[in-house]
Copies of this chain bind each other. A is one copy, B any other.
Amino acid sequence: MFKSKIVKLVVNDVRFPTSLEQHGSDAMHSDPDYSVAYVVVETDADLKGYGLTFTVGRGTEIVVCAVEALSSLVIGKTLEEIVTDFSAFYRLLTSDGQMRWVNWARERINLILIFLQPLWKLLVDMDPRKLIRCIDFRYITDALTEQEALGEVCQLNDEQMLKEGYPAYTTSCAWLGYSDEQLSQLCSAALAEGWTRFKVKVGADLQDDIRRCSLIRKMIGPENTLMIDANQRWNVGEAVSWITTLAEFRPLWIEEPTSPDDILGHAAISKALVPLGIGVATGEQCHNRVMFKQFLQASALQFVQIDSCRVGSVNENLAILLMAAKFKVPVCPHAGGVGLCELVQHLILFDYISLSASLNNRMCEYVDHLHEHFRSPTVIKNAHYMPPTDPGFSCEMLDESVQKYGFPHGDVWRSILKQKGSQDNFSE
């Protein structure tokens, strides 16, 4: 198998019209159409690989173009060449002498290889020295050396995870665009299903936020966990005063209070919130290991929210998970969108079994949308992610979904765009 050669990359622009029902709406993204650049890697053997990166609609075509631009670096490689020196392959993709100028390390290229096992199992069973060699340590040795990284790897057995799964929290109940009634209904249903941790979108209007947080806190009671998420809406000072007002609802964390690039701003907010017992969570738009390194060095976050597609996929996330382990900051991944739950469950299972060995203040985001388009969708039991058992990274999509939601020529978009066209004509 390892002698087989990659011969083709097919990239699809697949978009789901989620904005029609305000799923996923927040203080900065008012009309997201959850979308993916979906890649199928073909080899000269009877093997395929699947990968995706998440977007929220317009602009997906740019990511498609970016994957196509990288494909020449991948086509012709044998699997053996890639796995023999993962780190060199990774640097090839992120540091091409010409393309790096377009900030490759900042693009979200998520190129998926072909596995015989589920990815999480491959990672937890991997020899730690081999694991460490997947990481590009350039620019992070002042925070984590190879030797230190090796020292962070423990190896629990996977029994507990296979039995109970990894704790999840839900964001499905309280998107910003939902009415109070919808919010109450969804919250009741989630409580009935066994959810104990809930996230609420805030940041657009303070009075709205007070009303919504109060409603949710009443419904879930004092024992359950509440988190709030501002999706980068505020300036630093504004964040502190706004959150202070919402402190009475006892959120565990405030997520993305300000610009995702503002390490020093997050450090200032973190410091100001210590007396209120509220942590700062961020990371879903943090573009590489160098940024995460500084967030950790500056004590600018108390919860590390890795995302499976924002950074350079698995290798870059390994570096981030190891740094979080060294700085003893819990990792609570970002998920939702399309396929993000499917992908990130592998990384957080690895984090638990091989690095943290703790569930204290740890949980993984879950959003109950669009899983039906995947060959091996996530399995949630009693508000826990159950470890996937199929080989790979769980992101193979159904051919039918790729066809139907393909942008702009799939049936769904043809119909939406046609309708939109006739409306636009009507309004003129």
Q: Which residues of A contact B (CB under 8 A)?
A: 28-33, 55-63, 65-66, 69, 95-104, 106, 137-142, 235-237, 258-259, 261-265, 268, 285, 287-288, 290-291, 293-294, 297-298
With known contacts A139-B258, A235-B142, A236-B141, A98–B29 Cβ distance under 8 A: yes
Closest chain-B Cβ to A408's Cβ sits at a distance in Å of 13
With known contacts A236-B142, A268-B142, A29–B101 Cβ distance under 8 A: yes
Choose from B30, B60, B102, B262 the contact partner of A290 (Cβ within 8 Å).
B262
With known contacts A106-B287, A142-B236, A142-B268, A58–B294 Cβ distance under 8 A: no
Q: Please determine whether A101 and B259 come into contact, CB atoms closer than 8 angstroms.
A: no
Q: Please determine whether B28 and A100 come into contact, CB atoms closer than 8 angstroms.
A: yes
CB neighbours (8 Å) of A31 from chain B are 97-98
Q: Please determine whether A265 and B98 come into contact, CB atoms closer than 8 angstroms.
A: no
Q: Please determine whether B69 and A100 come into contact, CB atoms closer than 8 angstroms.
A: no
- Between-chain CB contacts (< 8 Å), 11 pairs: A29-B100, A31-B97, A31-B98, A32-B97, A56-B101, A59-B66, A59-B102, A141-B236, A261-B288, A262-B293, A262-B294
Complex Cα gap A60–B66 (Å)? 10
Closest chain-B Cβ to A56's Cβ sits at a distance in Å of 4
Q: Please determine whether A57 and B98 come into contact, CB atoms closer than 8 angstroms.
A: yes
Complex Cα gap A60–B103 (Å)? 12
Q: Identify the interface centre among A69, A141, A264: most chain B CB within 10 Å of its CB.
A: A264
CB neighbours (8 Å) of A57 from chain B are 98-99, 101
